[in-house]
């Protein structure tokens, strides 16, 4: 340095560096309205449970990349967030490398080979109530373990065993539960007892309370099999035998052959644009990506920014777009390996413009006037999402699910984990609503080895060719609309990531014809105006648990952890 700089130059350089420091830190603090200590430069994890977020952060700090951290978080959530974290379910991953390469992994559950179209109907052709929920026969073949193995094989950097070990430690040594988890376990205790006679898994005499230690020794042993044997540790050997025994005892369908035949699938990411931003999202068998891009196309030409967040015109437009998109979902979306899903036609801008042509500002369009377009529930919150970015800028957006809260609530005896009841995401009978109130038809009918349609919408957004946002949420049918609103909250309404996640949400899904709203989602004047136009507004509890990361103008990561749950953001 000395060689190049004389004394005056040195002072000048010092002045410049000091100014840059003060300008940049005051910009970060002043403009975003929050302390810079809440933003991070080297990476971030946002997920549903504090101990799992800590596991992910530790992996990032040890030099693991975003996929390494995701694998560790997935297994840690199985232990700490039994409502939805899972090895007995499935999910989707959207990946964007620091260089901009994109990919998606479909590790959604599949129908067992013995499944059939009318398996939930009685002899009169009626759906047997409850048969596709909380029964052994409601479980699809789990995909999560294979998904993690595939993701790690393709993109992982650290050793597999090192990514599974933190979950084993949490299961064996136990962890202190939050008040919310204690409440969820107590709330579901009677169902655990009924569905798993004689077993004590997740039960505690006198009930759970905050800070109790939850130890899961059977689960620790299962995770050790996965740590040591990889795929064979779950889809073959002891754990597979335990799953098959559980199925035999409870008249379930999953066989050893189903387990051995399960493979996750890499699929090209679905992409679209919104006002110059590039949206990278999940293709079918998720309906979420297609629906999200349709919604964004339908509202793009309108001045949402001028109307403002959750004002009557904004809400009316969103609701009318949602009504039309969910009608399309009911007819056209299903597993692309079994049904030709007309993705290109649904995403043609002219098509989506024409779908909005019968919308009038004067009154609500009744859902009875809307049918799926001609082209060439209610929620359980218990799916879970996590967003991760690493030091290099590789980004992962994963949504994973058991379907219902605690899945089927049936656990594999001796193996210490819960099974999904994902078969309910199929259409049991055309027009018959599933647990989320969603209807479907042929595209999503049950067939052997087919994947059931999902609403999970893990998404990554680019701006000017660079990473901008990582976003996703649980919430059944409301997943799509929660992701849609979170994106608009940032892009249109200039909300910070945390504000966008915390903001009150609303939802319409064509059928039933009602707008579901969180408390105080809109002001009373907007509400009256909408009701006068014929919108039926129905109150609902907390909607979704969005966990998201935004890359700020100053190249920091700002997390949004949903205050509706135990969701936690950690960075470094």
Bridge partners of 170, per DSSP, are none
What is the sign of the dihedral through the CA atoms of 474, 80, 251 and 254?
positive
**CB of 424 vs ligand GLY, minimal distance in Å:** 8
383 is a catalytic site residue: yes
**Going by C-beta distance under 8 Å and a sequence separation of 6 or more, which residues neighbour residue 236?**
229, 256, 259, 260
- Here the tokens at position 9 are 């130059």
The upper half-sphere exposure of residue 234, i.e. CA atoms within 13 Å in the direction of its Cβ, equals 25
CA distance 484 to 463: 17
**CB of 423 vs ligand GLY, minimal distance in Å:** 10
CA distance 282 to 226: 27
- Per-residue 3-state assignment (H helix, E strand, C coil) for 386-424: EEEECCCCCEEEEEEECCCCCCCCCEECCCCEECCCHHH
CA distance 547 to 45: 9
Helix (H) or strand (E) holding 281: strand 277-281
Nearest by Cα to 324 from 308, 309, 346: 346
- Distances, alpha carbon 423 to alpha carbons 238, 348, 389, 434, 455, in Å: 25, 31, 32, 10, 14
Q: Please give the residue ranges that form the binding site for ligand GLY (CB under 6 A).
A: 383, 401, 403, 422, 425, 454-456, 476
**CB of 402 vs ligand GLY, minimal distance in Å:** 8
Beta strands in 33-137 (DSSP E): 39-40, 44-47, 90-96, 102-107
CA distance 27 to 172: 46
Q: Which of 281, 383, 459, 478 is catalytic?
A: 383
**CB of 15 vs ligand GLY, minimal distance in Å:** 56
Is residue 271 helix, strand or coil?
Answer: strand
CA distance 27 to 319: 36
- Distances, alpha carbon 239 to alpha carbons 244, 350, 494, in Å: 9, 51, 49
**CB of 330 vs ligand GLY, minimal distance in Å:** 14
* Widest Cα–Cα separation across the chain: 94
Displacement of CA 516 from its chain's centroid (Å): 20
CA distance 194 to 196: 6
User: Of the two residues 383 and 496, which places its CB atom closer to ligand GLY in the complex?
Assistant: 383
Q: Give the catalytic positions in this structure.
A: 383
């Amino acid at each position: 340095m000395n060689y190049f700089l004389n004394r005056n130059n040195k002072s000048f350089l010092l002045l410049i560096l000091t100014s840059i420091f003060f300008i940049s830190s005051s910009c970060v603090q002043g403009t975003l309205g929050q302390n810079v200590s809440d933003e991070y430069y080297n990476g971030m994890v946002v997920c549903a449970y504090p101990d799992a977020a800590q596991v992910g952060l530790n992996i990032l700090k040890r030099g693991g990349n975003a996929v390494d951290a995701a694998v560790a978080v997935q297994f840690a959530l199985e232990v700490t967030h039994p409502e939805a974290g899972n090895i007995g379910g499935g999910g989707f991953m959207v990946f964007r490398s620091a260089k901009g390469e994109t990919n998606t992994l479909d590790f959604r559950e599949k129908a067992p080979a013995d499944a059939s179209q009318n398996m939930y109907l009685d002899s009169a052709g009626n759906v047997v109530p409850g048969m596709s929920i909380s029964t052994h026969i409601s479980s699809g073949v789990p995909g999560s373990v294979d998904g993690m193995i595939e993701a790690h094989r393709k993109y992982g950097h650290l050793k597999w065993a090192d990514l599974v070990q933190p979950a084993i430690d949490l299961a064996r040594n136990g962890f202190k539960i939050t008040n919310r988890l204690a409440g969820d376990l107590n709330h579901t205790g009677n169902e655990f007892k009924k569905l798993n006679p004689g077993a004590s898994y997740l039960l505690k005499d006198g009930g759970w309370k905050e800070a109790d230690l939850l130890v899961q020794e059977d689960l620790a042993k299962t995770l050790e099999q996965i740590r040591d044997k990889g795929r064979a540790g779950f889809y073959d050997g002891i754990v597979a035998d335990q799953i098959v025994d559980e199925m035999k005892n409870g008249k379930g369908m999953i066989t050893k052959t189903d387990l051995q035949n399960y493979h996750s699938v890499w699929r090209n990411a679905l992409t679209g644009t919104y006002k110059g931003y590039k949206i990278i999202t999940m293709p079918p068998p998720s309906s979420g990506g297609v629906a999200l891009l349709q919604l964004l196309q339908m509202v793009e030409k309108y001045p949402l920014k001028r109307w403002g967040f959750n004002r009557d015109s904004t809400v009316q437009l969103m609701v009318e777009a949602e009504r039309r998109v969910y009608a399309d979902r009911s007819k056209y979306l299903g597993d692309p390996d079994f049904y030709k899903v007309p993705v290109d036609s649904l995403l043609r801008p002219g098509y989506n413009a024409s779908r909005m042509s019968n919308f009038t500002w004067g009154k609500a369009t009744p859902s009875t006037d809307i049918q799926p377009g001609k082209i060439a529930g209610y929620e359980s919150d218990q799916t879970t999402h996590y967003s991760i970015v690493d030091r290099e800028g590789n980004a992962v957006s994963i949504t994973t699910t058991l379907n219902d809260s605690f899945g089927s609530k049936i656990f594999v005896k001796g193996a210490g984990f819960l099974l999904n009841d994902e078969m309910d995401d199929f259409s049991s009978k055309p027009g018959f609503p599933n647990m989320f109130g969603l209807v479907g038809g042929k595209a999503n009918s049950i067939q052997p080895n087919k994947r059931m349609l999902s609403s999970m919408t893990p998404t990554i957004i680019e701006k000017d060719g660079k990473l901008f946002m990582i976003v996703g949420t649980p919430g059944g049918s409301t997943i799509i609309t929660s992701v849609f609103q979170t994106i608009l909250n940032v892009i249109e309404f200039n909300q910070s990531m945390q504000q966008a996640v915390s903001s009150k949400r609303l939802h319409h899904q064509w059928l039933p014809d009602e707008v579901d709203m969180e408390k105080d989602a809109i002001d009373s004047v907007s509400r009256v105006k909408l009701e006068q136009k014929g919108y039926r507004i129905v109150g609902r509890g907390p909607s979704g648990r969005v966990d998201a990361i935004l890359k700020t103008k100053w190249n920091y990561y700002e997390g949004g952890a949903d205050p509706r749950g135990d969701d936690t953001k950690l960075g470094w």
